[in-house]
Structure 1
Amino acid sequence: MFELHASKVANLKNDVLSGLTVALALVPEAVAFAFVAGVEPLVGLYAAFMVGLITSIFGGRPGMISGATGAMAVVMVSLVAIHGVEYLFATVVLTGLLQIMAGLFKLGKFIRLVPHPVMLGFVNGLAIVIFLAQLGQFKVTNEAGELVWMQGSQMATMASLIALTMAIIYFLPKLTKAVPSSLVAIVVVTIIVQSFNLDARTVVDFVRDMTNNPAASIAGGLPQFSIPNVPFNWATLQVILPFALVLAAIGLIESLLTLTLIDELTGTRGKGNKECLAQGAANTVTGFFGGMGGCAMIGQSMINVNSGGRGRMSGVTAALALLGFILFASGLIEQIPLAALVGVMFIVVIGTFEWSSFRIINKVPKADAFVIILVSAVTVATDLAIAVIVGVIVSALVFAWEHAKHIAVTRSVDEQGSTVYDVNGPLFFGSIASFLEQFDTEADGQDVIVEFKNSRVADHSAIEAIDTLAERYISRGKKMHLRHLSKECRQLLTKAGSLVEIDVIEDPEYHIASDQLG
């Protein structure tokens, strides 16, 4: 993965400076996601502050940045449109409680089961999503109140400032790494725009376009505690529970995948279950303080990592600085050119995209290449959670199909004249059809032995297949013996149960996947 001067060592100065850089980039993102969800800008900004602060202090991945995200915002919009913002706050509280339960039940470890091709597709798709999201900054409001693409000198100015920002971020580390190059780029471009009075859109222009309010601002006070104003009854739960389940799943999947990505970048390992608890606590608190909730933000996390942020103080600084902007420095922050922030995000896109996937696409198995492309496409078309779930399902089906080919049954006759079948390979739902096809119940003798010493019965579908085979032999008046099955397998057999030859010394011990055993 393309990586800009990333260090693996935490440093307080780097954490503070990178946190300030992240805070500047958080403002337009939080406002944009609030707009997507159909709520006021401060609802998004408060979420970015509270979720970011709590997860930075208590989360399982120092250096990871959390806040309001687009993946969750697109789920919220229909809820807000139909039931209002108070129902959103109640849903965010319930989302947090569900995520806390996921942490308590230690479900975070399952993110390690996500295959590498899915991870590649995830980061590639996310890079494309981040890039496409920046294109909205190239639009302005015309006299009719419609958003249209920039034209002429305004577009040229925007493109030039973006190029300057990216050049500073790329070349400055070659001279010095004393300060984050992204922060320097934002400051330099802001000074140039203000000094020469250039026609460049600023943060306040973006806020006003998003809200369609010429007097809009990011200024506000401290978030206030408030219990969501909804009826506490079964009808309310029926409304908010489906949304809460989806939001909890999206939030955890995106957070844990971002955690895994930062693990790779920094050469360290985060704690998935601890992150689940922190994300849940953050969303629960946010719902009581008028925020829209959130999860890990891969774009801002990449800015933080590439700016030298490694410790918890980077996220804490970003959150506190964002609150400072809202309370005291809104006028200053609103003058930052959007071109500077777009330039920073374009560098994030370059750093996030796995360019090596182009080089290896013809070298990896076709199924893996398909999964990479599929997950990338679904990420762009829908959202990250659906893309990852689809990728995992397809990868699992491919795995099952490939291993279904590995079942082999060898037929022989022993000294006593019994027909012996040696089973080699895993017996599971994908291989049972091939398994059953390899027995000739008509031609076999009266005594048949099926040897499982070189096989493993993996699930209940395999048990059913063994019972089916036993029934075929029983119906023909033949006796079948099963050898080297585990104790659990023998317990689950019905038709073949009395035909198992038990060898206490040699019979294997392993756990079979079956709900019947609890």
Structure 2
Amino acid sequence: MFTDKRFHHYSLSSLPKDLLAGVIVGVIAIPLGMAFAIASGVKPEYGIYTTIVAGILISLFGGSKYQIGGPTGAFIPILFGIVMTYGYENLLIAGFMAGVILLLMGIFKLGSLIKYIPRPVTIGFTTGIAVTIFSGQLASFLGLEGLKKHEEFIRNIQEIFIHLNTTSIYSVLTAVICLVTVILTPKIAPKVPGPLIGLIVSTLVATLFFPTQVATIGTAYGEIPSTLPQIHIPNINMEIIIKLIKPAFIIAMLGGIESLLSAVVADGMTNSKHNSNKELVGQGIANMITPLFGGIPATGAIARTATNIKNGAVSPFSGIIHGVVVLLVLLFFAPYASYIPLASMAPILMVVAWNMSERKVFGHILKTKSTDSLVLVVTFLLTVFVNLTMAVEVGLIMSAILFAKRMSDVMVTKKALPNPDTKHEKVETGMVTDTHDCPQISIFNVEGPLFFGAALTFEETIMKTINYRPKVLLLRMGRVPFIDTTGEANLARIVHHFSKNGIVLISGLNPQPESVLRKTGLYGAIGEGHFFEHTGEAIQYALSQINKNKCLGCKHFAFRECQKLSALGAVEGSRKKLTATF
């Protein structure tokens, strides 16, 4: 462990800083761990087990110096759905499988791929998750009774309206006391953990003044054990793996996104640099071992990581200490947690939902009124009204399609000619008219990536524009940074078509397109001598290949050589007439 770069230059003088940060974050993590577990549909102690085991392992094996791992709000809708559909035992298996996926992603260095998920997708599902979490706490906030839990958002909201008549004034009072305390504590004492103070104050008020009027953790889930459970290895077979692979993959993807996003936030706050692949390895190990202790899936927690940094953490030791602190609290104070009202947990999660909602960024993207806004809204609505799996899938597919559409719009294929009014007679579009165009040489400026989304338009533009079959087709491709196999296939059809009666020349070909053309054999089919670094050289070669007789009397003067060729043609024509006369 001490060969880890994250521990370089560590000294005894750093230990008090890590100790303070670890204790503070550990205290904050206790109510959050229980709240996240309850909201996910499992017993509160499972959230504590996750905080201890995953928190220590992520700090030990992860790739960030400051990352604090544990259960997070982002997982709540997914885990709740899995528990409702497959049961708690299968949740543990799905979490273990997600750990394996994350471990493999780290080993095969796929950490950098996470950053390619579009921001509208991540903001859309994050805001959707926040809405789901917030609405899911309304029943506990109001103290409603007799509700049935559903996986669907709409049905849960209907349940709340149906049972509004069971609202408990005592639960509302308890929840309001906790909420006000959570909001005011950071303003009065910034270093004091608001969620813990809110939990303690509201619990004391409820216990002293109306102890039998509100539901508590003890009445709902029984007493919390004061020890870690024994290691339990779940029964895994191929049938279960096939059944749970989809939820496991979603857990892994969300866990990877959340942990790397948290690590990036930590980098920004400390001017440090995390190792994304090592972070995924750490997350994978944590999520493989945590289910053996009955814990739920875990990831990097942005708010707790930021708190860790603000309180002076200098190494992963603070994360390890945070897990040990939670373990000590479990061992010595677990029985007291049974007195915590469920109404006290609700405001804590509501504040978490409010803070993670990304409402400002959401509004900012909406204001652009672009395709990104559409992806954002669709991802958000699907997250709330369908499920996160569908939201991410549709969001990514929409982003890919709209990106391809935008790239195809960027692609430009237009006829061009030298502009005699510019220095060096620069070849430009907009110079071609009915009276100013070479019948034998067609030049096209091709700009933008020549890929599947733009390749057909590229081919059709050229084929339709030059139906008069010129002798030479010159493609200026200096601004084509990339070509895929679809673009190569369309270019090959153009080359095949023109090679029957003329030649194709290409100038300014970039390394990546050249590599593709060489691999497919199209480079050789066009001919080594038909590729030029500069357009001027290509034009000179093209002029040497045309039929000079067709220049007779031509008034287009597309090139500076045209006037001379036309005049020579006129002289030659006069000479032939005189010869015929005599």
TM range (shorter): 0.7 to 0.9
Which residue in 1 is equivalent to 2:409?
405
- Structure 1 letter corresponding to 2:127: N
Q: Please report how far the alpha carbon of residue 435 of structure 1 lies from its aligned counterpart in structure 2 after TM superposition.
A: 1.2
Unaligned stretches of 5+ in structure 1?
1-9, 508-518
1:157 and 2:211 aligned:
no
Report matched runs for 1:19-98 at 5 Å: 19-35=26-42, 42-43=45-46, 45-61=48-64, 62-67=66-71, 69-74=75-80, 76-77=82-83, 80-81=86-87, 85=89, 89-98=92-101
Matched AA of 1:464: A
1:498 aligns with 2:502: no
Aligned twin of 2:188: 172
Counterpart of 2:351 (choices 335, 347, 350) is 347
Alignment of 1:185-334 (within 5 A): 185-197=198-210, 201=214, 203-205=216-218, 208-209=219-220, 216-230=222-236, 237-239=241-243, 241-260=245-264, 269-297=273-301, 312=316, 315-334=319-338
| Structure 1 position 473, deviation (Å) | 2.5
Shift of 1:236: 5.8
Q: How does 1:367-386 map to 2 (within 5 A)?
A: 367-384=371-388, 386=390
What's the CA shift string for 1:38-60, capped at 9, x where partnerless? xx665554334322221133323
Q: Give, in angstroms, the shift of residue 29 of structure 1.
A: 2.0
1:373-396 Cα deviation digits (max 9, x unpaired): 233323323455654454344333
Matched, 1:127 2:113: no
Distance 1:393 1:30 in 2: 32
Identity %: 24
Structure 1 residues 102-117: aligned runs within 5 Å: 102-117=105-120
- State the Cα deviation string for residues 186-233 of structure 1 (Å, max 9, x = none): 33333333343466646425xx43x5xxxx2221533323443456xx
Q: Distance in 1 between matches of 2:328 and 2:18?
A: 23
SS of 2:479 mapped into structure 1:
strand
- Secondary structure (helix, strand or coil) at the match of 1:457 reads coil
Q: Secondary structure at the match of 2:23?
A: helix
Higher relative contact order, chain-length normalized (CA < 8 Å, sep 6+)? 1
* Local SS of the residue matching 1:50: helix
Aligned equivalents of 1:497 and 1:387: distance in 2? 47
Match of 1:434 among 457, 460, 469: 457
d(CA) in 1 for partners of 2:120 and 2:145? 44
Task: Tell me the C-alpha RMSD between the 2 structures.
Answer: 3.8
Kindly name which structure, 1 or 2, has the bigger radius of gyration based on alpha carbons.
Answer: 2
- The residue number in structure 1 matching 2:503 is 479
Contact 1:20/1:183 (8 A) holds in 2: yes
Residues 412 and 368 of structure 1: is their aligned pair in 2 closer, same or farther, counting only changes over 3 Å?
Answer: closer
**What amino acid does structure 2 have at the position aligned with 1:118?**
V
8 Å CA contact 1:23, 1:319 repeated in 2: no
Change (3 A) 1:505 1:287: farther
**Number of equivalent positions:** 478
Q: 1:470 touches 1:496 (CA, 8 Å); kept in 2? A: no
CA distance in 1, matches of 2:355, 2:111: 26
CA distance 1:91–1:384, change in 2 (3 Å): closer
Contact 1:118 1:391 in 2 (8 A): yes
Distance 1:192 1:400, change over 3 A: same
Is the Cα contact below 8 Å between 1:20 and 1:321 reproduced in 2?
yes
TM-aligned CA deviation for residue 498 of structure 1? 1.1
Assess if the C-alpha contact under 8 Å between 2:455 and 2:487 holds in 1. yes
Deviation for aligned residue 1:318: 4.4
Shift of 1:431: 1.5
Query: How far 1:116 moved relative to its partner?
Result: 3.5
Q: Which residue is equivalent to 1:454?
A: 479
1:181 maps to 194
SS at match of 1:222: coil
How far 1:451 sits from its partner (Å)? 2.1
- Provide closer, same or farther for how the CA distance between residues 355 and 110 of structure 1 changes in structure 2, counting only shifts above 3 A: same
C-alpha distance in 1, partners of 2:22/2:39? 26
Q: Helix, strand or coil for the counterpart of 2:234?
A: coil
**Mean Cα displacement is larger for which, 272-281 or 161-170?**
161-170
TM-score, normalised relative to structure 2: 0.70
CA distance in 2 between counterparts of 1:79 and 1:404 reads: 42
AA aligned to 1:151 is T
Residue type of the partner of 1:221? T
Work out the CA distance in 2 between the residues paired with 1:235 and 1:118. Answer: 32
Point out the more displaced range, 130-139 or 381-390.
381-390
Kept in 2, the 8 Å contact 1:11–1:309? The answer is: yes
One-letter identity of the residue aligned with 1:138: F
1:239-263: CA deviations, max 9, x gaps?
Answer: 5555544443343234334444555
Amino acid at match of 1:154: Y
Contact 1:457–1:463 (CA<8 Å) still a contact in 2? no
1:278 Cα deviation (Å)?
0.8
Structure 2: runs of 5+ lacking an equivalent: 1-16, 150-158, 419-437, 535-582
> What is the match of residue 511 of structure 1?
none
Give the C-alpha shift of residue 404 in structure 1.
1.3
Contact 2:231-2:293 at 8 Å conserved across structures: yes
Residue 170 of structure 1: CA displacement?
4.7
CA contact (8 A) 2:63 2:277 kept: yes
TM superposition shift of 1:277: 0.5
Separation in 1 of the partners of 2:35 and 2:118? 33
Distance in 2 (alpha carbons) for counterparts of 1:497 and 1:145: 70
